[in-house]
Amino acid sequence: MASAPSAQLLEPLDVPPWTRTPGAPILTHPYGLPSSFESHVVRRAARQWPMPGAASSLTPLADLHGTLTPNGLVYERHHGGVPDIDPDAHRLAVHGLVTEPKLFTMDDLLRLPSESRIHFMECSGNTASEWKGPSGLPLQLTHGLLSCCEWTGVRLSTLLEAVGGSTPAAPGASPRWILAEGADAAAMTRSLPLDAILDRALVVYAQNGERLRPENGYPLRLIVPGYEGNTYVKWLRRLKVVDGPLETREETSKYTGLLPDGRARQFAFEMDAKSVITRPSPGQRLTRHGYYPVVGLAWSGRGTIRGVEVSTDGGINWQSARLEAPVRDRALTRFTFDWTWQGGPATLLSRATDSTGYVQPTREALVAARGLNSYYHYNGIQSWRVGADGSVANA
- Scan residues 334-393 and list those touching a copy of itself (CB under 8 A): 334, 336, 338
**Given the complex with a copy of itself, which of 69 and 256 has the nearer CB atom?**
69
* 307 part of the interface to a copy of itself, by CB under 8 A: no
**Given the complex with a copy of itself, which of 152 and 374 has the nearer CB atom?**
152
Select the span of 95-103, 138-146, 189-197, 387-395 touching a copy of itself (CB under 8 A): 95-103
In contact, 385 and 377? CB cutoff 8 Å: no
- Scan residues 9-28 and list those touching a copy of itself (CB under 8 A): 9-11, 13-14, 16, 18-28
* CA 180/CA 15 separation, integer angstroms: 59
Those residues with Cβ within 8 angstroms of residue 305's Cβ, 6 or more apart along the chain or in another chain: 273, 275, 298, 299, 323, 327, 333, 335, 352, 353, 354, 355
Judged by CB under 8 A, the residue of 46, 50, 62, 99 near a copy of itself is: 99
Size of the residue set binding a copy of itself (CB under 8 A): 120
Q: In Å, what is the CA distance from 65 to each residue of 68, 70, 147, 297, 307?
A: 8, 10, 12, 10, 19
Single-letter amino acid code for the residue at 255: Y
CB of 11 to a copy of itself, least distance (A): 7
Select the span of 48-56, 249-257, 298-306, 350-358 touching a copy of itself (CB under 8 A): 48-56
* 219 part of the interface to a copy of itself, by CB under 8 A: yes
* CA 217/CA 204 separation, integer angstroms: 9
Judged by CB under 8 A, the residue of 46, 47, 50, 93 near a copy of itself is: 93
In contact, 275 and 352? CB cutoff 8 Å: yes
* 249 part of the interface to a copy of itself, by CB under 8 A: no
- Scan residues 100-159 and list those touching a copy of itself (CB under 8 A): 100-101, 103, 107, 110-116, 150-152
Those residues with Cβ within 8 angstroms of residue 162's Cβ, 6 or more apart along the chain or in another chain: 94, 102, 104, 112
* 324 part of the interface to a copy of itself, by CB under 8 A: yes
In contact, 236 and 180? CB cutoff 8 Å: yes
